[in-house]
């Protein structure tokens, strides 16, 4: 039997004046959700927070993660239609829902989920960006620009229209696995190799590991909001009666 420890944190970063990221873990639901909002004044914050609240509530009702994300899209879009201050708002979203030895992952946009296992750091989600689409087609540049210029140009987001494309994937969890959900405020300044090295060296409490990642990103003048959730799975030490 596996047990899980979860933690999450968010930081405004060095440049931004507001934090439009939202992140939360719900150990009672075996659920972690992260969203990176976009839109006008405070609208991104509203979108990301609302998305997480809806996913939490729908999963708590016993419905699937897919249903939860669909409902989140519906409610965020409805808010943007009802209030002109929220017009055009939206958010990325990545969520992980655990069930025994399995985890279901839902992804919209470019927020990511990684797995750190046996010192190997691997991205489990696929970015929904123009750069990733070009990369999938084997194209190195577009209109004279290298594809890196399109890394943050989303091809999909939650709440910007009546329906959104939701990428669903599954993974088998092993004892010792560490999962990281994060916004591009972290991965935009820390390379995968850097994060992997830091996770290898820092094996203590999840809160401390998370803060170490944040401190490193902040030292690099993190231009965006930074958010992360960490989940560590381990064998239960409790003996069967």
Domains of the chain with bracketed CATH: 2-233 (3.60.40.10)
Give the tens place of pLDDT for each residue, 100-137. Answer: 999 999 999 999 999 999 999 999 999 999 989 898 89
Q: What is the pLDDT of residues 184-222, one digit of tens each?
A: 999 999 999 999 999 999 888 999 999 999 999 999 999
Among 71, 91, 102, 78, smallest CA distance to 179 is for 102
Task: Give me the pLDDT at residue 160, please.
Answer: 95
pTM: 0.94
pLDDT tens readout for residues 44-91: 999 999 999 999 999 999 999 999 999 999 999 999 999 999 999 999
CB 156 within 8 A of CB 111: no
Separation CA 79–CA 88 (nearest Å): 10
pLDDT of residue 238: 59
One DSSP character per residue, 26-77 reads: EGGGTEEEEEEEESSTTHHHHHHHHHHHHHHHHHHTT--HHHHHHHHHHHHH
């Amino acid at each position: 039997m596996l047990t899980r420890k979860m933690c999450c944190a968010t930081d405004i970063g060095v440049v931004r004046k507001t934090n439009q990221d939202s992140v939360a873990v719900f150990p009672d639901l075996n659920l972690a959700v992260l969203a990176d909002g976009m839109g006008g004044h405070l609208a991104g914050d509203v979108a990301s927070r609302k998305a997480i609240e809806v996913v939490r509530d729908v999963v708590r009702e016993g419905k699937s993660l897919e249903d939860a994300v669909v409902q989140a899209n519906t409610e965020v879009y409805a808010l943007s239609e009802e209030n002109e201050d929220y017009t055009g708002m939206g958010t990325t979203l990545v969520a992980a829902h655990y069930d025994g030895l399995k985890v279901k992952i839902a992804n919209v946009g470019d927020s990511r989920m990684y797995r750190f296992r046996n010192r190997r750091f691997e991205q489990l989600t696929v970015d929904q960006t123009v750069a990733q689409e070009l990369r999938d087609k084997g194209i190195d540049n577009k209109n004279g620009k290298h594809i890196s210029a399109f890394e943050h140009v989303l091809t999909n987001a939650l709440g910007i229209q009546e329906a959104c494309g939701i990428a669903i994937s599954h993974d088998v969890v092993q004892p010792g696995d560490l999962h990281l959900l994060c916004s591009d405020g972290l991965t935009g300044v820390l390379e995968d190799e850097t994060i992997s090295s830091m996770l290898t060296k820092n094996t203590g409490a999840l809160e401390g590991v998370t803060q170490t990642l944040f401190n490193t990103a902040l030292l690099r003048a993190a231009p965006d909001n930074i958010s992360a959730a960490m989940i560590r799975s381990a064998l239960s030490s409790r003996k069967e009666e």
